[in-house]
């Protein structure tokens, strides 16, 4: 019995060192060497200023910027430590009220826009951290952004194309626009 207990404790100690120390250090070292930017948060840094991660959405409410998908994280939007959806079911009045409020906000800043509002501008994402909007959502907002920036919409459209990411592996998902990259391009160009 004592021999079996000692063997079990030795195996426990060996696997604790292997899986608790050696493996994490090895994976972290490889990540730092091969995927340094991604391993450190995928931050966008320009002129020593950190603008945020292009993998986590940010709150934009100024009408001269493109707005991202609404975030349901608490206590503040796009809180990476509280990633979650709203968990509102389709019959929940809070879901309907939130959607109606976002529709009203979009219409109030761009009353001339009669296009249907893309669903991703009024509904929460599953994580609450989505940094992307659909191409349709970006095109819907281009008129408002151009109006509030005092520039022709034709100057905004190439920026949307420049911030559009294609399908993953060429077949998965739909083309999407990174809102932070698009808004940074707006500030750099216009």
Taking the C-alpha atoms of residue 139 and residue 157, their distance in angstroms, rounded to an integer, is 8
Question: Dihedral, CA atoms, 62, 67, 70, 73, nearest 10 degrees?
Answer: -60
Q: Which residues of 28-59 are buried (b: 16+ CB within 10 A; e: fewer)?
A: eeeeeeeeeeeeeeeebeeeeeebbbbbbbbe
pLDDT tier at 134, thresholds 50, 70, 90: very high
- What is the DSSP code (8-state) at residue 186? H
Q: What confidence tens digit (pLDDT) does each residue in 29-51 have?
A: 999 999 888 888 888 888 888 88
Least confident of 2-6, 47-51, 133-137, 163-167: 47-51
For the chain, give every domain's residue range: 2-36, 42-189
Taking the C-alpha atoms of residue 166 and residue 49, their distance in angstroms, rounded to an integer, is 28
Contact (CB, 8 A) for 112 and 143: yes
In this prediction the pTM is 0.81
């Amino acid at each position: 019995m004592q021999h079996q207990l000692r063997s079990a404790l030795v195996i426990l100690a060996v696997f604790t060192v292997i899986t608790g120390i050696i493996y994490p250090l090895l994976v972290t070292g490889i990540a730092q060497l091969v995927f340094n930017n991604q391993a450190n948060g995928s931050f966008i840094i320009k002129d020593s200023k950190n603008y945020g991660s292009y993998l986590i959405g940010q709150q934009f409410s100024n009408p001269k910027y493109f707005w991202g998908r609404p975030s349901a994280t608490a206590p503040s939007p796009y809180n990476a430590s509280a990633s979650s959806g709203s968990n509102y079911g389709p019959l929940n009045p809070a879901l309907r009220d939130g959607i109606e409020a976002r529709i009203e906000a979009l219409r109030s800043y761009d009353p001339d826009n009669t296009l249907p509002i893309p669903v991703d501008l009024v509904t929460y994402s599953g994580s609450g951290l989505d940094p992307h909007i659909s191409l349709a959502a970006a095109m819907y907002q281009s008129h408002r952004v151009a109006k509030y920036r005092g520039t022709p919409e034709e100057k905004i459209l190439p920026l949307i194309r420049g911030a559009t990411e294609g399908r993953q592996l060429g077949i998965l998902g739909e083309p999407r626009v990174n809102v932070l990259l698009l808004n940074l391009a707006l500030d750099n160009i216009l």
